[in-house]
């Protein structure tokens, strides 16, 4: 009786994930689970995926993450996937310890072998943001260049200038790693391989039609969306940001409500000066 009770308890706590884990190893089927951590075991850096008490390890060599000579940077790049859904193919199992080893790279290869034929310039596809690419300025601060996104196993690049019709200083104000959204395919080069995509092309460009709503010398309310060395960006409406000089008195922050006077209007640009601060954040 005691033996049967133990068996029942063990059965109750066994995960129902194992059939699909075994199926992935035997049939090379692709599974998609959340990435829940990063572990370093026996000098091996791994991405952790887990579901219903079953844990999988994806070695960084099989993670699809570009490796460099800097261990800290490798760990940081792998950690960018935590909290995101990742696809993988199981390569080894250890049910006794509720553990398996998997390859994200093999899953991406399998998915992309079918997806390349579906990609055409001008088509709209659903993308998953994987990581934001930044580069250092001369002063040591970082500026965002774009977002690496994944489209059915294929990595593509979304340049910062293709995120919005308005000014984008910090991509994270618009997109976070793990976000899912539609993109338009702008450019495909299978040999490199390279895919460029755009978000803003899916939305109507407010320029130059928006110029009918504003006139030189007039004052309008707006919200500060960015503070740069060369000026303050103030948003008047979706996709319409004007560039103003830094005010002589007081520092402004993102989110501050201001009134700006337009000093110059062209077909794709509006300049102004900040007349007063309406409300600070």
> Can you tell me the mean pLDDT for 97-109?
95
Q: Say what the pLDDT of residue 14 is.
A: 58
Q: Say what the pLDDT of residue 169 is.
A: 86
**47-98 pLDDT, tens digit each:** 999 999 899 999 999 999 988 888 898 999 899 999 999 999 999 999 888 8
Q: Which of 10-19, 165-174, 181-190, 216-225 has the lowest mean pLDDT?
A: 10-19
On whether the CB atoms of residues 140 and 87 are closer than 8 A, the answer is no
Which DSSP string do the residues of 18-78 spell out, in sequence order? HHHHHHHHHH---EEEEEEEEEEETTEEEEEEEETTEEEEEEGGGSSPPP-S-HHHHHHHH
C-alpha 235/C-alpha 242 separation (Å) is: 6
**10 vs 51, residue with greater confidence:** 51
- Residue ranges and CATH numbers for the domains of the chain are 2-112 (2.40.50.140), 119-202 (2.40.50.140), 209-279 (2.40.50.140)
C-alpha 260/C-alpha 280 separation (Å) is: 15
Provide the β-strand partners of residue 136: 142
Question: Do you know the residue count of the chain?
Answer: 281
Q: 3-class SS at 233?
A: strand
Structure tokens at 14: 């066994």
Put simply, whether the predicted model's pTM sits higher than 0.75 gets the answer: yes
Q: Which of 2-6, 114-118, 276-280 has the lowest mean pLDDT?
A: 2-6
- The answer, yes or no, to whether residue 274 has pLDDT greater than 70, is yes
**164-202 pLDDT, tens digit each:** 999 998 999 999 999 999 999 999 998 888 999 999 999
Q: Say what the pLDDT of residue 228 is.
A: 86
Instruction: State which H helix or E strand residue 22 sits in.
Output: helix 18-27
Q: Say what the pLDDT of residue 1 is.
A: 47
């Amino acid at each position: 009786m005691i033996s049967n009770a133990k068996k029942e308890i063990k059965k109750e706590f066994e995960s129902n994930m194992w059939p699909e884990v075994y199926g992935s190893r035997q049939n090379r089927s692709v599974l998609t689970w959340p990435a829940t951590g990063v572990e370093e075991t026996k000098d091996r850096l791994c991405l952790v995926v887990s579901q219903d008490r079953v844990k999988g390890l994806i070695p960084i060599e099989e993670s699809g993450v570009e490796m460099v000579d800097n261990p800290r940077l490798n760990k940081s790049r792998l950690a960018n996937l935590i909290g995101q859904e990742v696809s993988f193919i199981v390569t080894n199992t250890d049910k006794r310890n509720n553990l398996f080893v998997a390859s994200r790279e093999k899953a991406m290869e399998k998915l992309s072998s079918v997806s390349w034929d579906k990609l055409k310039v001008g088509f709209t596809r659903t993308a998953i943001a994987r990581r934001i690419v930044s580069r250092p300025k001369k002063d040591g601060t970082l500026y965002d260049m774009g977002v690496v996104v994944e489209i059915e196993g294929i990595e593509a690049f979304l340049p910062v200038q293709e995120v919005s019709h308005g000014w984008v200083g910090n991509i994270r104000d618009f997109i976070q790693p793990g976000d899912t959204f539609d993109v338009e395919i702008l450019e495909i080069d299978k040999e490199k391989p390279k895919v460029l995509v755009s978000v803003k092309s899916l939305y109507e460009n407010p320029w130059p039609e928006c110029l009918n709503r504003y006139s030189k010398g007039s004052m309008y309310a707006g919200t500060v969306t960015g503070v740069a060395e060369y000026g303050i960006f103030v948003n008047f409406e979706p996709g319409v940001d004007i560039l103003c000089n830094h005010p002589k008195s007081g520092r402004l922050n993102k989110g501050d409500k201001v009134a700006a006077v337009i000093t110059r209007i062209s077909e794709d640009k509006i300049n102004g000066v900040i007349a007063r601060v309406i409300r600070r954040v």
